[in-house]
Amino acid sequence: MYPNAFYRVSVKALIRDKQGNVLVVKENQDTWSLPGGGLDHGESPEDGLWRELHEELGLEHIKIRGIYRTLTFELKQKQAWLMWVVYDVETDCNDFIPGDGVSEVQYLDPRVLIDSPDIFEQQVYKLAVQ
Protein backbone atom coordinates (compact mmCIF):
# COMPACT_ATOMS: atom_id res chain seq x y z
CA MET A 1 0.00 0.00 0.00
CA TYR A 2 0.91 3.65 -0.33
CA PRO A 3 -0.31 5.28 2.91
CA ASN A 4 1.51 8.55 2.24
CA ALA A 5 -0.43 9.00 -1.00
CA PHE A 6 -3.97 8.96 0.39
CA TYR A 7 -6.07 12.08 0.84
CA ARG A 8 -9.68 12.64 1.79
CA VAL A 9 -10.90 14.51 -1.28
CA SER A 10 -13.53 17.20 -0.83
CA VAL A 11 -15.15 19.42 -3.42
CA LYS A 12 -15.78 22.97 -2.24
CA ALA A 13 -17.52 26.01 -3.70
CA LEU A 14 -16.10 29.51 -3.71
CA ILE A 15 -19.23 31.66 -4.04
CA ARG A 16 -18.95 35.44 -3.78
CA ASP A 17 -21.57 38.12 -3.42
CA LYS A 18 -21.44 41.44 -5.30
CA GLN A 19 -19.29 42.97 -2.54
CA GLY A 20 -16.68 40.19 -2.80
CA ASN A 21 -17.67 38.45 0.42
CA VAL A 22 -17.42 34.66 0.46
CA LEU A 23 -20.23 32.25 1.32
CA VAL A 24 -19.25 30.17 4.35
CA VAL A 25 -20.95 27.57 6.52
CA LYS A 26 -20.61 26.15 9.98
CA GLU A 27 -21.18 22.43 9.65
CA ASN A 28 -20.80 20.20 12.70
CA GLN A 29 -18.19 22.61 14.08
CA ASP A 30 -17.85 26.12 15.49
CA THR A 31 -15.68 27.45 12.69
CA TRP A 32 -16.30 28.62 9.14
CA SER A 33 -15.56 26.61 6.04
CA LEU A 34 -16.51 26.72 2.39
CA PRO A 35 -19.66 24.81 1.49
CA GLY A 36 -19.06 21.38 0.06
CA GLY A 37 -17.82 18.03 1.25
CA GLY A 38 -16.33 14.66 0.51
CA LEU A 39 -16.77 12.80 -2.72
CA ASP A 40 -18.59 9.50 -2.71
CA HIS A 41 -16.95 6.54 -4.43
CA GLY A 42 -17.54 6.67 -8.19
CA GLU A 43 -18.98 10.18 -8.08
CA SER A 44 -17.69 12.85 -10.45
CA PRO A 45 -16.41 16.02 -8.77
CA GLU A 46 -19.11 18.16 -10.40
CA ASP A 47 -21.88 15.76 -9.35
CA GLY A 48 -20.46 15.67 -5.83
CA LEU A 49 -20.35 19.46 -5.65
CA TRP A 50 -23.94 19.76 -6.85
CA ARG A 51 -25.05 17.13 -4.30
CA GLU A 52 -23.20 18.81 -1.44
CA LEU A 53 -24.57 22.28 -2.25
CA HIS A 54 -28.06 20.86 -2.48
CA GLU A 55 -27.70 18.99 0.85
CA GLU A 56 -26.02 21.83 2.77
CA LEU A 57 -27.77 24.88 1.33
CA GLY A 58 -30.83 23.67 -0.56
CA LEU A 59 -29.44 25.04 -3.82
CA GLU A 60 -31.11 23.87 -7.02
CA HIS A 61 -29.51 26.18 -9.56
CA ILE A 62 -25.78 26.75 -9.67
CA LYS A 63 -23.28 27.56 -12.38
CA ILE A 64 -19.96 25.79 -12.00
CA ARG A 65 -17.42 27.97 -13.79
CA GLY A 66 -14.49 25.58 -13.34
CA ILE A 67 -11.80 24.65 -10.87
CA TYR A 68 -10.58 27.71 -9.00
CA ARG A 69 -7.75 26.07 -7.08
CA THR A 70 -6.73 22.92 -5.23
CA LEU A 71 -5.28 22.76 -1.73
CA THR A 72 -3.78 20.00 0.36
CA PHE A 73 -3.30 20.27 4.09
CA GLU A 74 -2.89 18.10 7.15
CA LEU A 75 -5.39 17.68 9.96
CA LYS A 76 -2.86 16.89 12.65
CA GLN A 77 -5.45 15.99 15.30
CA LYS A 78 -6.83 13.27 12.98
CA GLN A 79 -3.49 12.34 11.42
CA ALA A 80 -5.05 12.72 7.99
CA TRP A 81 -4.44 14.75 4.87
CA LEU A 82 -7.20 16.55 3.03
CA MET A 83 -7.38 17.70 -0.56
CA TRP A 84 -9.85 20.41 -1.47
CA VAL A 85 -10.82 20.81 -5.11
CA VAL A 86 -12.33 24.29 -5.02
CA TYR A 87 -14.69 25.37 -7.78
CA ASP A 88 -15.66 28.88 -8.79
CA VAL A 89 -19.45 28.77 -8.47
CA GLU A 90 -22.24 31.25 -9.14
CA THR A 91 -25.76 31.21 -7.81
CA ASP A 92 -28.56 33.75 -7.95
CA CYS A 93 -30.13 32.27 -4.80
CA ASN A 94 -29.66 33.96 -1.45
CA ASP A 95 -32.46 32.11 0.31
CA PHE A 96 -30.46 29.22 1.72
CA ILE A 97 -32.06 26.24 3.43
CA PRO A 98 -29.44 24.85 5.85
CA GLY A 99 -29.29 21.06 5.76
CA ASP A 100 -28.51 18.55 8.49
CA GLY A 101 -25.48 19.58 10.50
CA VAL A 102 -25.35 23.12 9.07
CA SER A 103 -25.87 25.58 11.90
CA GLU A 104 -25.02 28.85 10.11
CA VAL A 105 -24.70 30.19 6.57
CA GLN A 106 -23.55 33.68 5.65
CA TYR A 107 -21.45 35.81 3.37
CA LEU A 108 -18.29 36.87 5.17
CA ASP A 109 -15.44 39.23 4.40
CA PRO A 110 -12.59 36.67 4.31
CA ARG A 111 -10.12 39.21 5.71
CA VAL A 112 -11.68 38.72 9.18
CA LEU A 113 -10.14 35.24 9.15
CA ILE A 114 -6.55 36.44 8.67
CA ASP A 115 -5.43 35.53 12.21
CA SER A 116 -7.67 32.54 12.78
CA PRO A 117 -6.00 29.57 14.48
CA ASP A 118 -8.48 27.18 12.78
CA ILE A 119 -7.14 25.24 9.79
CA PHE A 120 -10.41 25.48 7.82
CA GLU A 121 -10.74 29.23 8.33
CA GLN A 122 -7.08 29.60 7.30
CA GLN A 123 -7.87 27.80 4.04
CA VAL A 124 -10.87 30.05 3.36
CA TYR A 125 -8.65 33.10 3.85
CA LYS A 126 -5.90 31.71 1.60
CA LEU A 127 -8.33 30.91 -1.18
CA ALA A 128 -10.31 34.13 -1.07
CA VAL A 129 -7.60 36.72 -0.39
CA GLN A 130 -4.20 35.46 -1.43
The CATH number for 3-129, chosen from 2.40.30.10, 3.30.9.10, 3.90.470.10, 3.90.79.10, is: 3.90.79.10
Q: Strand 22-27 vs strand 36-38: parallel, antiparallel, or unpaired?
A: unpaired
Domain ranges of the chain: 3-129
Q: What is the rounded average pLDDT for all residues in the chain?
A: 92
| Residue 30 buriedness (CB in 10 A; 0-12 / 13-18 / 19+) | exposed
Q: What digits encode the pLDDT tens for the residues 61-91?
A: 899 999 999 999 998 888 888 999 999 999 9
8 pLDDT band, cuts 50/70/90, is confident
Angle at 34 between CA 31 and CA 38, to 5 degrees: 105
Percent of the chain residues topping a pLDDT of 90: 78
Question: What residue type is assigned to position 100 of the chain?
Answer: D
Q: What is the mean pLDDT of residues 51-64?
A: 95
Q: Output the pTM of the full model.
A: 0.91
- Which one, of 82, 79, 90, 93, lies nearest residue 122 by Cα? 82
* pLDDT bucket at 55, cuts 50 / 70 / 90: very high
